């Protein structure tokens, strides 16, 4: 996906990008070796060649700052297939409107939970996130990331893919549970629905049993983000690349 992308070049929008693909110029190497490209002046072609060479070098060196700088947030998903072995799925559970109870992390193989007053702090979380190349959330742009910034003063430095916005663009509407239902993703019966009652009971009692239940809810959330990402990102790309 990323090496087929020209959307980061100045004045190249989706329609123009698709026009380039239709000419058989479907990746960076083909662009660089093409003498002429319909709709692109010789002067622009030289400028674009240099940017593509920079992109190739950045990808080789895994310098993701280049892509954060040159790609709009809605196009960051194009990095997914290249870095799919270095993804981190993240979801937070609130302690209140102004605080975080826990942060759940999933690397595609194992889950990890950072809990308030135990092992959740800025340094621990930052260290975990920076082990990976891409961060994936569901509605993280509107909720999780602002909360992490507000509560822990944490700045996310790796590219972030928000699956909710991609779902909306494909007309899959609703929260995480609704998307799970649409994709027929199963949960254990005791972890269906909302953990709201468990939250209330835990806050009132501080009982470990209810904290464990909240952790289980959170783990199901982040584990299910992986198949959602696989499906939604594939659908998003196919919709664009099917020109």
Regarding whether 109 and 15 lie in a shared domain, the answer is no
Look over the chain and give the mean of its residue pLDDT values, rounded to a whole number.
91
Regarding whether 230 and 203 lie in a shared domain, the answer is yes
- Once rounded to an integer, what is the mean pLDDT over residues 19-37? 97
Q: What is the pLDDT, as a whole number, of residue 109?
A: 95
Q: What is the pLDDT, as a whole number, of residue 203?
A: 63
- Once rounded to an integer, what is the mean pLDDT over residues 191-204? 59
Label residue 243 by pLDDT band (50, 70, 90). low
Q: What is the pLDDT, as a whole number, of residue 191?
A: 53
Label residue 177 by pLDDT band (50, 70, 90). confident
Regarding whether 112 and 66 lie in a shared domain, the answer is no
Number of domains in the chain: 2
Considering only CA atoms, which of 141, 146, 105 is closest in space to residue 124? 105
Q: What is the pLDDT, as a whole number, of residue 95?
A: 80
Q: What is the CATH number of the domain that holds 108?
A: 3.30.420.10
Please determine, for residue 66, whether its predicted confidence score (pLDDT) is greater than 60.
yes
Please determine, for residue 212, whether its predicted confidence score (pLDDT) is greater than 90.
no
Q: Give residue-wise pLDDT tens across range 7-16.
A: 999 999 999 9
- In a domain, residue 133? The reply is yes
Regarding whether 102 and 58 lie in a shared domain, the answer is no
- In a domain, residue 32? The reply is yes
CB 79 within 8 A of CB 159: yes
Regarding whether 111 and 35 lie in a shared domain, the answer is no
Residue numbers of the domain that contains 110: 87-240
Regarding whether 144 and 29 lie in a shared domain, the answer is no
Last residue of a domain, one of 22, 40, 71: 71
Q: What is the pLDDT, as a whole number, of residue 104?
A: 97
Please determine, for residue 214, whether its predicted confidence score (pLDDT) is greater than 90.
no
More confident residue, 212 or 159: 159
Q: What is the pLDDT, as a whole number, of residue 199?
A: 60
Regarding whether 25 and 144 lie in a shared domain, the answer is no
Regarding whether 211 and 95 lie in a shared domain, the answer is yes
The pTM of the full predicted model, rounded to 2 decimals, is 0.90
Regarding whether 116 and 13 lie in a shared domain, the answer is no
Please determine, for residue 196, whether its predicted confidence score (pLDDT) is greater than 60.
no
- Once rounded to an integer, what is the mean pLDDT over residues 72-80? 97
Label residue 205 by pLDDT band (50, 70, 90). low
State the Cα–Cα distance between residues 144 and 137, nearest whole angstrom.
8
Q: What is the pLDDT, as a whole number, of residue 78?
A: 98
From residue 103, give the alpha-carbon distance in Å to each of 32, 91, 148.
44, 6, 9
- In a domain, residue 82? The reply is no
């Amino acid at each position: 996906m990323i090496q087929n992308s020209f959307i980061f070049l100045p004045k190249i929008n989706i329609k123009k990008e698709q026009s380039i693909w239709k000419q058989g110029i479907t990746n960076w190497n083909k662009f660089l070796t093409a003498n002429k490209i319909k709709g692109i002046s010789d002067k622009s072609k030289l400028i674009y060649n240099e940017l593509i060479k920079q992109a190739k070098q950045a990808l080789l060196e895994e310098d993701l700052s280049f892509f954060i700088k040159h790609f709009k947030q809605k196009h960051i998903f194009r990095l997914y297939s290249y870095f799919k072995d270095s993804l981190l799925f993240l979801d937070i559970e609130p302690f209140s409107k102004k605080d975080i109870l826990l942060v759940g992390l999933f690397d595609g193989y194992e889950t990890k939970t950072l809990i308030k007053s135990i092992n959740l702090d800025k340094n621990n979380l930052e260290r975990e996130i920076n082990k990976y190349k891409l961060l994936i959330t569901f509605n993280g742009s509107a909720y999780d990331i602002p909360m992490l910034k507000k509560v822990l003063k944490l700045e996310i430095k790796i590219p972030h893919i928000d699956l909710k916005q991609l779902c909306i663009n494909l007309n899959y509407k609703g929260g995480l549970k609704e998307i799970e239902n649409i994709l027929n993703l199963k949960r254990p019966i005791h972890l269906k629905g909302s953990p709201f009652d468990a939250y209330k009971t835990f806050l009132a009692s501080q009982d470990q049993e209810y904290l464990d239940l909240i952790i289980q809810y959170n783990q199901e959330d982040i584990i299910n983000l992986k198949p959602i990402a696989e499906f939604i990102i594939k659908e998003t790309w196919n919709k664009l690349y099917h020109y």
